């Protein structure tokens, strides 16, 4: 497989099945610096939108991938190493992708810029939007998302409500819970009221399952998540593990591919095996080599072991 600069995967996604990731901003530019972020600390916290990477090159890579790589994918997902709506040409990138394929386009966003009309317009042609909203009070918002100073939680909520009023396709709202941070009774009550205003098609609740940016962050138990699910009502689901038949990768530099995927986010053995379509015994050998070579490390979180890159700033892969 050719080595791509802006594409990664397909990676297993708990919501988007086999998803080809498209990285619109360099690591790690974001409007937030979430305590649970799985891709590390924000290096540039900003609200400035610009063409962080050339859109023509992204579209060229997408076209090349679709023509040359014979891998089945369920979604093309704009996400990656930061906040994708910071890319000022995300609208034309979505249109460019849709002009060459019928594979649905998803945007995984923190939703923070939806209060800007230009961002709402840019996302109108995507097939599904997956925004997050982890807090509804200023205090909890500052604690969990650590946003750029000029951003208020009221503006974020209003942006989501306004976007819903003009967007006719699917919105899957994700709320990630960290124990003792955004799971208080009052916050949950206000969250429920806000969700009723946003009217998402689904509410996906989640907790920390991958190594977080801050080590002190801890997950909710399954029982606690079930309780919140019951409280939020019908359209709420707890995000479950991805599970599909393995596909076979015909060729490619598998070690490089593993490194490239892990550079975006740490994954468990099982996630990697599913995403790469590799048998576990095969994958085990590659991981053992990468561990031996000091390229990756393993870390336990909860009951699972996660693999992560040792130096994400190394751009050589
Ligand atoms: S979790 Fe998403 S929104 Fe939060 S800091 Fe990481 S990239 Fe940004």
pTM over 0.85: no
222 C-alpha to center of ligand 1: Å? 23
Q: What pLDDT is recorded for position 277? A: 57
Instruction: Identify the band that residue 248 occupies on the pLDDT scale cut at 50, 70 and 90.
Output: very low
Say whether pLDDT at 249 is over 50. Answer: no
Say whether pLDDT at 278 is over 80. Answer: no
Return the CATH number of the domain spanning residue range 7-244: 3.20.20.70
Q: Count CB neighbours of 161 within 10 A.
A: 14
Strand partners, 106: 77, 128
Residue scoring higher pLDDT (212 or 47): 47
Sheet hosting strand 75-79, strand order edge to edge? 7-13, 17-23, 75-79, 105-109, 128-131, 170-177, 202-207, 236-238
Q: Count CB neighbours of 315 within 10 A.
A: 10
Sketch the domain layout of the chain as residue ranges: 7-244, 252-317
Nearest alpha carbon, ligand 1 atom 4: 34
Q: What pLDDT is recorded for position 66? A: 94
Q: What mean pLDDT is predicted for residues 85-112? A: 97
Q: What pLDDT is recorded for position 27? A: 85
How much of the chain, in percent, has pLDDT values that exceed 70? 88
Q: What pLDDT is recorded for position 1? A: 64
Q: What pLDDT is recorded for position 242? A: 34
40 C-alpha to center of ligand 1: Å? 9
Distance separating alpha carbons of residues 114 and 158, to the nearest angstrom: 8
Domain 252-317 has CATH 1.10.10.10: yes
What mean pLDDT is reported for the chain?
A: 87
32: three-class secondary structure by DSSP = coil
C-beta of residue 39 within 8 angstroms of C-beta of residue 81:
yes
In this structure, the residues whose C-beta lies within 6 A of any atom of ligand 1 are 30, 32-34, 37, 39, 42, 82-83, 110
Fold equal for 7-244 and 252-317: no
């Amino acid at each position: 497989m050719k080595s791509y600069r802006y594409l990664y995967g397909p990676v297993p996604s708990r919501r988007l099945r086999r998803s080809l990731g498209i990285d619109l901003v360099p690591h790690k530019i974001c409007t937030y610096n979430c305590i649970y972020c799985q891709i590390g600390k924000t290096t540039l916290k900003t609200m400035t939108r610009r063409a962080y990477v050339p859109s023509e090159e992204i579209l060229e890579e997408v076209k090349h991938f679709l023509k040359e790589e014979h891998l089945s994918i369920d979604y093309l997902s704009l996400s990656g190493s930061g906040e994708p709506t910071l890319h000022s040409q995300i609208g034309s990138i979505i249109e460019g992708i849709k002009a060459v394929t019928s594979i649905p386009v998803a945007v995984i966003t923190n939703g923070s810029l939806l209060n800007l009309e230009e961002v709402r317009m840019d996302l109108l042609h995507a097939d599904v939007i997956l925004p997050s909203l982890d807090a509804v009070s200023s205090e909890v918002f500052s604690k969990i998302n650590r946003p750029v100073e000029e951003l208020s939680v009221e503006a974020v909520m209003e942006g989501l409500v306004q976007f819903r009023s003009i967007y006719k396709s699917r919105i899957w709202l994700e709320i990630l819970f960290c124990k003792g941070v955004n799971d208080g009774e009052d916050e949950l009550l206000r969250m429920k009221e806000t969700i009723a205003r946003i009217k998402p098609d689904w509410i996906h609740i989640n907790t920390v399952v991958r190594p977080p940016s801050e080590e002190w962050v801890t997950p909710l138990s399954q029982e606690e998540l079930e309780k919140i699910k019951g409280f939020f009502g019908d359209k709420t689901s707890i995000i479950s593990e991805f599970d599909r038949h393995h596909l076979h990768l015909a060729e490619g530099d598998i070690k490089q591919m593993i490194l490239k995927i892990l550079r975006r986010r740490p994954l468990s053995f099982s996630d990697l095996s599913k995403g790469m379509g590799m048998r576990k015994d095969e994958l085990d050998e590659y991981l053992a080599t990468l561990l031996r070579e000091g390229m990756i490390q393993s870390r336990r979180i909860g009951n699972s072991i996660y693999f992560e890159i040792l130096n994400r700033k190394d751009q050589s892969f």
